[in-house]
Amino acid sequence: MKQSQRQFPPDSVGLVQPQTLHCDQPLLLANGRQLDGYDLVFETYGQLNRDKTNAVLICHALSGNHHAAGFHTAEDQKPGWWDNYIGPGKPIDTDHFFVVSPNNIGGCHGSTGPRSINPQTGKPWGADFPNLRVRDWVETQVFLADHLGIEQWAAVIGGSLGGMQAMRWALEYPGRLRHCVAIASAMKLTAQNIAFNETARQAILSDPHFFDGDYAARDSYPKKGLSVARMIGHITYLSDDGMGQKFGRELRSGSFERGTDEPVEFEVESYLRHQGDAFSQRFDANTYLLMTKALDYFDLAREYDNDPIAAFRHARCRFLVIAFTTDWRFSPLRSREIVDALIGANRAVSYAEIDSHFGHDAFLIPNRRYSDVFRRYMLNICRESP
Amino acid sequence: MKQSQRQFPPDSVGLVQPQTLHCDQPLLLANGRQLDGYDLVFETYGQLNRDKTNAVLICHALSGNHHAAGFHTAEDQKPGWWDNYIGPGKPIDTDHFFVVSPNNIGGCHGSTGPRSINPQTGKPWGADFPNLRVRDWVETQVFLADHLGIEQWAAVIGGSLGGMQAMRWALEYPGRLRHCVAIASAMKLTAQNIAFNETARQAILSDPHFFDGDYAARDSYPKKGLSVARMIGHITYLSDDGMGQKFGRELRSGSFERGTDEPVEFEVESYLRHQGDAFSQRFDANTYLLMTKALDYFDLAREYDNDPIAAFRHARCRFLVIAFTTDWRFSPLRSREIVDALIGANRAVSYAEIDSHFGHDAFLIPNRRYSDVFRRYMLNICRESP
């Protein structure tokens, strides 16, 4: 099929093309190391208005990238990861907003990361790529905003790890955003969350094809370790209820007949293995380690005497906080802590707790109330004068 | 220290010694295969009375074994796995009961299992050891009861997978037990539970030292895979709250100071890795696979038209069901399903839902109300005439 023949849905942004911005200024990282320069791949959807007041920044989560909406080719079966919520007439309405969606550095989809060539050695960075913290991403996003001439975002928006970036923007660059939308996020991870991340990392680190992160140079890849890591993650992004409704105890093959030795396979097992396999083919193991560490390390109020209220007093924007009832990895409790701290800091915050069976993944999935609340909040942003 | 010098606590059963029972009758397994014979290692605590009416059977869970109480040597630092609940004056009171605690076949602590020699080949069974179902264990326990001359157990008791065995006893041999105590158990696993088990299995299967289960013959061992499997399990046996209280975000080493590249390690990471390592040194990977499969396959009512009420109508004993509030792997919901089915089947059931921060592990840990309820229930068994 020729691209011109493909009919995209009317609420799709249609064909999109990534751009690359090169930064040749050194970036001093939170951990003291320095990147001499970096590439930032990003996509944009919609039109920047003359006053440059309608720009929205999308911050992605652990396994996300810059391709948040639309299609790269007419043959693409799947649109970008947040296509349910970005497009004409959708909550992040590209008829009104100019949407900017970068791939974070440290990632594996074009922005400088462990797969990139380390200019000092001429070889892929691999495990030697610096550990990043959420604030480092914010710095690169500031560079991107400057490049695009965007002095102030109408909103900085993110789910999960993306919400952490949005909140960090609100504290570090209070004058540069009018709204912060933190969805299914948290001010810091719990011990259980860190424990799941560490177990996933151990699955990767203990794969003999990992070679201490130097797998690329050895033409190897820790596929199985990354697959197990993803399986762990995937279960925890779904809810017990949701999995029960989707899979129950349905068998994919085999039987429980007495006297049969036929191996039994449950649907949920086959599904999970498929998810793990597919992910391990498209994602980079060093990036997975880096992203989970950034999640673990994030602690919004650490540098504010561990006082979230004191932290949020630095913010000047308004906030929308959204959580999902069955999300146990970033539970509504964590979102309510954000809300409570914002109220304590006398900041305007709207909070919606959405009923959903889809656990943490709910922030990606169509949901009537979520969509309505999100759309109305964003529409009001369009109507306000900056 | 000489054994004679060691003072055991007065409520300990003290020094105990495992015994081995050999069965040379063939055991036809649920999957149609046959074991030509097997060894059963077990311990006993307390004295069997003249009428043999005071015997209690302990069924162990995934990683348990026959050593449920007391000490094997005077030097042992740790007693058996359920020492908190078995001993003089404890809920399973050895002043009143004769307690029998076998290691299940398929295990790795002396009873015939994947580490044993397959008489047909003269080599360790390894992965060729037959898949077992809960009912197979019940059959071996019947053989043990017959050997000990126990026509009817005062109670068959188990937590988790052990509770599944206790319930299977109640349905298959209704005349041979007066009480069934199912703690932190379920009539069948949920999809989420199966998913966690499958992920743990994949961690083992993808370890190149696993050699399709034939590691013993190759002088190898899938230590890292088993360690990751245990880490996955361990997180899910604890509660979010409990982990938060025990570890929070405490650091074991490193620092979050700006500009420091020192690697950060959270306490919870180090703890989990230690748990995984220690477990992988004392447990057998093929046994882990076999036990998790037995858990997944168990479905109390499968052969009763999937009707738990119809299933429990076969039982004649009384039931005690106990669940723990923060247990999300075998949640109180699952225990309430057992209770509801028992009520539907017009069977006597007592149910206690115990407040605890310890998740699924709570069934092993001292807890005042759990202990009180359990003790009183068991005391009443002593007083009744069989």
Query: What's residue A50's pLDDT?
Result: 96
- Does residue A112 come out as left (phi exceeding 0), alpha (psi in the -120 to 50 range) or beta? beta
On whether the CB atoms of residues B61 and B82 are closer than 8 A, the answer is no
Q: Which fold has domain B196-292?
A: Rna Polymerase Sigma Factor; Chain: A (1.10.1740)
* CB-nearest partner of A188 from B249, B260, B273: B249
CATH match of B3-188+299-383 with 3.40.50.970: no
pLDDT in tens, A269-326: 999 999 999 999 999 999 999 999 999 999 999 999 999 999 999 999 999 999 999 9
Q: What confidence tier does A1 reach under pLDDT thresholds 50, 70, 90?
A: very low
- CA count, 13 A, side-chain hemisphere, B356: 28
Chain B residues lying within 8 Å of A273, measured CB to CB: 198, 202
**Alpha-carbon gap, residue B42 to B38, rounded angstroms:** 13
pLDDT in tens, B310-346: 999 999 999 999 999 999 999 999 999 999 999 999 9
Catalytic residue, candidates A93, A207, A299, A327: A327
Segments of chain A assigned to CATH 3.40.50.1820: 3-188+299-383
**DSSP element (H, E) containing A350:** strand A349-354
Quick one: which of A42, A141, A130, A46 has its CA closest to A88?
A46
pLDDT in tens, B254-282: 988 888 888 889 999 999 999 999 999 99
Please, which residues 16-45 of chain A have a Cβ atom closer than 8 Å to chain B? Answer: 30-33
- Does residue B88 come out as left (phi exceeding 0), alpha (psi in the -120 to 50 range) or beta? beta
Instruction: Tell me what the pLDDT averaged over chain B comes to.
Output: 95
Please, which residues 221-250 of chain A have a Cβ atom closer than 8 Å to chain B? Answer: 224-225, 227-228, 231-232, 235, 238-240, 243-244, 246-249
> Which residue ranges of B make up the annotated binding site for substrate?
230, 361
Query: What's residue A261's pLDDT?
Result: 81
**Alpha-carbon gap, residue A292 to A286, rounded angstroms:** 10
Q: What confidence tier does A179 reach under pLDDT thresholds 50, 70, 90?
A: very high
- Max distance between CA atoms of chain A, in angstroms, equals 75
pLDDT in tens, B172-218: 999 999 999 999 999 999 999 999 999 999 999 999 999 999 999 89
DSSP B332-372: HHHHHHHHHHHHHTT--EEEEEE--SSGGGGGGS--HHHHH
Q: What confidence tier does A386 reach under pLDDT thresholds 50, 70, 90?
A: confident
Q: Are strands B92-93 and B86-87 parallel, antiparallel or unpaired?
A: parallel
DSSP B125-144: -GGGSPP--HHHHHHHHHHH
How does DSSP classify residue B113?
A: S
**Alpha-carbon gap, residue A375 to B357, rounded angstroms:** 40
On whether the CB atoms of residues A242 and A359 are closer than 8 A, the answer is yes
* CB-nearest partner of B191 from A130, A244, A261: A244
Query: What's residue B262's pLDDT?
Result: 83
Query: Is A160 an annotated catalytic residue?
Result: yes
Position A384: which residue type? Answer: E
pLDDT in tens, B13-27: 999 999 999 999 999
What lies within 8 Å, CB to CB, of B122 at 6+ separation is none
**Alpha-carbon gap, residue A311 to A174, rounded angstroms:** 11
Query: What's residue A384's pLDDT?
Result: 86
**Alpha-carbon gap, residue A196 to A203, rounded angstroms:** 11
Quick one: which of B161, B105, B43, B142 has its CA closest to B284?
B105
Interchain pair B243, A192: CB under 8 A? yes
3-state secondary structure of B161: helix
| φ/ψ (deg, to 5) at B282 | -115, -5
Chain B residues lying within 8 Å of A248, measured CB to CB: 191
Q: What confidence tier does B155 reach under pLDDT thresholds 50, 70, 90?
A: very high
What's the average model confidence in pLDDT over B380-386?
A: 86
Is residue A100 scored above 80 in pLDDT?
yes
- Max distance between CA atoms of chain B, in angstroms, equals 75
Structure token pair of residue A146:
């400057």
- CA count, 13 A, side-chain hemisphere, A58: 30
Is residue A3 scored above 70 in pLDDT?
no
- Does residue B149 come out as left (phi exceeding 0), alpha (psi in the -120 to 50 range) or beta? left
Quick one: which of B295, B298, B374, B301 has its CA closest to B341?
B301
- Does residue B305 come out as left (phi exceeding 0), alpha (psi in the -120 to 50 range) or beta? left
On whether the CB atoms of residues A110 and A41 are closer than 8 A, the answer is yes
pLDDT in tens, A14-53: 999 999 999 999 999 999 999 999 999 999 999 999 999 9
Is residue B5 scored above 80 in pLDDT?
no
**Alpha-carbon gap, residue B351 to B8, rounded angstroms:** 34
Is residue B140 scored above 50 in pLDDT?
yes
Q: What is the ipTM of this complex?
A: 0.93
Residue A361 assigned to a binding site: yes
Tally of residues, chain B: 386
pLDDT in tens, B335-378: 999 999 999 999 999 999 999 999 999 999 999 999 999 999 99
pLDDT in tens, A52-66: 999 999 999 999 999
* CB-nearest partner of A191 from B198, B261, B268: B268
Query: What's residue A344's pLDDT?
Result: 98
Interchain pair A260, B32: CB under 8 A? yes
∠ Cα A62 A130 A275 (to 5°): 25
On whether the CB atoms of residues B199 and A235 are closer than 8 A, the answer is yes
Q: What confidence tier does B1 reach under pLDDT thresholds 50, 70, 90?
A: very low
Q: Which fold has domain A197-291?
A: Rna Polymerase Sigma Factor; Chain: A (1.10.1740)
3-state secondary structure of A69: coil
How does DSSP classify residue A362?
A: G
DSSP B202-213: HHHHTSGGGGGG
Segments of chain A assigned to CATH 1.10.1740.110: 197-291
On whether the CB atoms of residues A363 and A78 are closer than 8 A, the answer is no
Instruction: Tell me what the pLDDT averaged over chain A comes to.
Output: 95
